Amino acid sequence: MVGNRLVLLTLALLAGCGGDKGGSPATDDSDRDLQRPAVDASAPLNDRGSKTAAKPSTRPATKSAAKSVSGVLSSGTAISAKFDAGISSRTHKAGQKLTGTVSSDVKDKNGRVIIPAGSKVSLTIAAIHESENKRDKTGKLVLTPISVVIAGRSYPLKGSATALDRTLKDRKTNAGDLAKVGAGAGAGALLGTAVSGGSTKGAVIGGVAGAAVGTQRAIETQDRDVVVPTGSRLKVTLGAPFRRGV
């Protein structure tokens, strides 16, 4: 009896020791497995985040600087355009307003379009006058640019404008031209009378000669109008830098 109890007690002790040894390692292993991934995964994620955040900080400054430089046309830049309507010194006066249409894109030194084709240029006639003699090949026409309208917004222009295709057109004979002929004939008749001693023949000859001189004088001084055809070329040259707001 006593022997059986000792055997059972011994077996129970051995079973209890074996259970403790098998359970404790499992608990220790699971604790270590749960802790290691959390520590190892956090380090590389933080490193990537800091590198990515540093890149965008430098790029916006570079783009804004490029815009401010490329939005300017330097003094002396030429703008090619065409007149929307014709001009004539017979009908137009100083102070009248004119318009033209930009015929090709105007770009800055970086190749950016500052004034696109189709923009409207406004001008004023500073001075206009017909030609009064044959030696004058151009007459007088002075144009001043005022502004250019781009996408509905108006920008001031400073500089000069030139009508590249202007011509001179003879006016029809008028009272002034006939007066020149008559004055020449009268002066010739008086001169012929004086030279011939007051004879009628001398007056006639002198009058004919004087009329010829008067006619030549009328031809040489005949008024010719300055004419600029509709759609002809207009050149605007900037006299100061032109800046377009972005």
What pLDDT digit, counting tens, does each position of 59-88 carry?
544 444 434 334 899 999 999 999 999 999
Contacts of 240 (CB under 8 A, 6+ apart): 75, 158, 159
Q: Where are the beta strands (DSSP E) in the chain?
A: 72-73, 78-83, 87-88, 97-102, 106-107, 113-115, 120-129, 140-150, 153-156, 159-163, 167-170, 224-228, 233-238, 242-243
- Taking residues 188-216, report their average pLDDT: 55
| Angle at CA of residue 156, ends 152 and 162, nearest 5° | 105
Most confident segment among 2-11, 53-62, 144-153, 185-194: 144-153
Q: Which CATH class is domain 72-167+232-243?
A: mainly beta
Sorted by where each begins, the domain ranges of the chain are 1-55, 72-167+232-243, 175-220
Give CA angle at 6 (5, 11), nearest 5°: 100
Three-state SS at 88: strand
pLDDT tier for residue 187 given thresholds of 50, 70 and 90? low
Q: What is the pLDDT of residue 66?
A: 37
Instruction: Give the whole-angstrom CA distance, residue 23 versus residue 25.
Output: 6
Residue 64: what pLDDT?
Answer: 42
Read off the pLDDT band of 171 (50, 70, 90). Answer: confident
**C-alpha distances out from residue 181 to 206, 211, 220, Å:** 13, 6, 12
Q: What is the pLDDT of residue 116?
A: 97
pLDDT single digits (tens) 209-244: 555 554 555 444 468 999 999 999 999 999 999 998
Distances (CA, A) of 240 to 98, 103, 125, 186: 21, 21, 20, 57
What band does 26 get if pLDDT is binned at 50, 70 and 90?
very low
The pLDDT-based confidence of 136 (bands split at 50, 70, 90) is confident
Q: What is the DSSP letter of 107?
A: E
